[in-house]
Amino acid sequence: MADKLIIVESPAKANTIKKFLGGDVKVMASMGHIRDLPKSKMGIDLEHDFEPEYINIRGKGDLIKSLKKEAKSAKKVYLATDPDREGEAIAWHLAHILDIPENSECRVTFNEITKETVKNSIKSPRKIDMNLTDAQQARRVLDRIVGYKISPVLWKKVRRGLSAGRVQSVAVKLIVDREEEIEKFIPEEYWNIYAKLSDLKTKKVFDATFYGKNNKKLELHSKEDVEKILKDIENKKYIVTEIKKGERKRTPAPPFTTSTMQQEASRKLGFTLKKTMSVAQGLYEGVNVGKRGTVGLITYMRTDSTRISEEARAAAKEHIINTFGNEYYENRYYKTKGNAQDAHEAIRPTYIDLEPEQIKEYLNKDQYKLYNLIYNRFIASQMSQAVYSTINANIDVNNYNFRASGQTLKFKGFMLLYVEKIEGEEEEKEASLPELSVGEEVKKEKIDPKQSFTEPPPRYTEASLVKALEEKGIGRPSTYSPTITTILERRYIEKEQKQLKPTDLGKIVNTLLTQNFPDVINVKFTAKIEEEFDEVAEGKENWKDVIREFYGPFEKTVEKVDKELEHVELVEEVSDVPCDKCGRMMVIKYGKYGKFLACPGYPECKNAKPFVEVIDVPCPVCGGKVQVRKTKRKRNYYICENNPKSCNYISWTKPKLGEEWKPEEQEKVKDTSKKTTKKVTKKKKTTKKTTKKTSKEK
């Protein structure tokens, strides 16, 4: 009989904690949620004040029996699930199943899984926080109601099996809206004039850019504008009229929150959100690092706070002064955003003395990369500013102004260790100017006018979508990754070279939902609901009041939409492909794996065939149609309809009119296809081995 039973969510976390406590302590894993709403029905009693009908999750019967048996024989049971709303709700469900009284002090949380934190937390358990539990219940119940009431509209008008979600549908809307902006965008012409000038004394060449006339900014929109200026400054003298010297400081970025970690891991490491959270979970739950044994290497990875503990601050100070010197340390406090829950610290290393290089041999490649990122970001956040010496020169030629600027890094500060990568921004480069003086003449070496066109806003990447969701108050740290993963899996959006674009299915679903449920599939509404969940978590609002307030108007909208759409037939897109069985023109339909062609004569004629997308540029080799196909990893490639019969055109990049094709492209695509096939085959073999082993064990 164990003296203490500690229940956590995962076996990895259980193993780490067991090693810290030893003795007569049993640590078990619940393997995530133990109870949930049923999958076969809504599971919300709408007639009795939205009471959720929880059931034990199928397949967890043996685990529940085992937990009950151990809980019955233990003197004390501690529920040590994750320190967030989801973890609090899991603890509450466990307490219900194990008959632990609601006011029992059984709840412990670990912001970091270190020996000291675990032992101290066990010494001071608390009651289950019903405010946090209710906030999670409110989200779960409201999302279930939205899904179960809206999804049937999609079944009737698009196809069965589709589903709508409160947060997911808004994320799809953002991506569709961005795509529409890109499609409607009309490029505007603009020009720049670049000058290469040289100092007469030193002969050093430097760059200057056209600014305006008489020190007023002048925008150039046509070739005629540029030609007039070039004519006005031809054979004129370039005189330095102003020199400004100064200093510019750059401050380090704060320690990671969940969203900034996801964004930076995407930009710097190429990780998906799902991968980032999976690797971070492993670092939090514990890694064996040799002599020190198994320890949690980072603090809890679901947080929207940039706050750090005074102990961590002191450890960072000591490390920075000892490693880099006193002048590199600066005590910093970062302001957490207004809508942040601030329940946990920022994401940081738990032990400052465990430097990434020191424990590299104990980490796998991905763990090392992410730990290195978290460690350096945290240390850099407590370092001094970087300092640049700047110089700006104004150069006049016949009343027209050119500007030249230079900067040199005077003191690296935090940049010695870490520089944040911001999407769309170029890396800062050093550029020096010669020692110029006011009144001196500089020589024109070259004038280079350049035509450009304004570009549409870029498509979202996973990183920039997370940033947008956070800025708009949609979702919370725990929801960003599952939201994007879900809409990718449902094929409402797809990835094209890291960019997210809506599929045709995503566009149809978005149109149907935003036109018929504008008050729900709406950025402001979604953000307002998140704020109400936060108020429930803080004990300021009752969770059922939030649901009641939402449900009345929502139910009326659903009834209205049902009536309006009852006699509306979905107009199907007709293709130019005739049915080879009955001759009717086939229509484009949407299945589980995307578009396919089907005969409109169904059920008399059940003919169906794959849909092949064709682009509007002819094959650069033979002039045939170019088809868009996908690899097993969903990457697009372009192939001639006559390949391999009479044409060998195949390429990763979309062909352009008049562009010459290089045959070596064919080999690149073929090589990648072979690699993919080998990898898939290997995985299959591994699965067989695992199956055999399992059979023996049985």
In three-state secondary structure terms, 464 is helix
Tokens for 420, please give them.
């944040």
In three-state secondary structure terms, 626 is strand
644: preceding bond cis by omega (within 30 degrees): yes
Beta pairing, strands 287-288 & 294-295: antiparallel
Selected catalytic residue, list 300, 329, 388, 460: 300
In three-state secondary structure terms, 194 is strand
| Among candidate residues 426, 491, 490, 484, the one with its CA nearest the CA of residue 460 | 484
In three-state secondary structure terms, 392 is strand
Give the chain's length: 698
According to DSSP, residue 572 is labeled P
Torsion of CA 11, 17, 18, 22, to 10 degrees: 180
300 is annotated as an active-site residue: yes
DSSP assignment of 587-617, as one string?
A: EEEEETTEEEEE-TTTTT---EEE--EE-SS
Q: What angle in degrees, to the nearest 10, is found between the helix axes of 543-565 and 504-516?
A: 100
Is residue 445 within 8 A of residue 197, CB to CB? The reply is yes
- Residue 250 pairs in a beta bridge with 386
Distances (CA, A) of 190 to 225, 255, 401, 413: 10, 40, 18, 39
Is residue 628 within 8 A of residue 610, CB to CB? The reply is no
Interatomic CA distance for residues 281 and 293, integer angstroms: 18
If phi > 0 it is left, if psi is from -120 to 50 it is alpha, else beta; for residue 662 that is beta
Alpha carbon of residue 380 to chain centroid: 23
| Among candidate residues 55, 5, 7, 46, the one with its CA nearest the CA of residue 26 | 5
Measured in degrees and rounded to the nearest 5, phi and psi for residue 578 equal -80, 150
| Among candidate residues 159, 73, 193, the one with its CA nearest the CA of residue 591 | 159
- Residue 598 pairs in a beta bridge with 587, 608
Q: How many other CB atoms are found less than 10 A from the CB of residue 432?
A: 12
Catalytically active residues, by annotation: 300
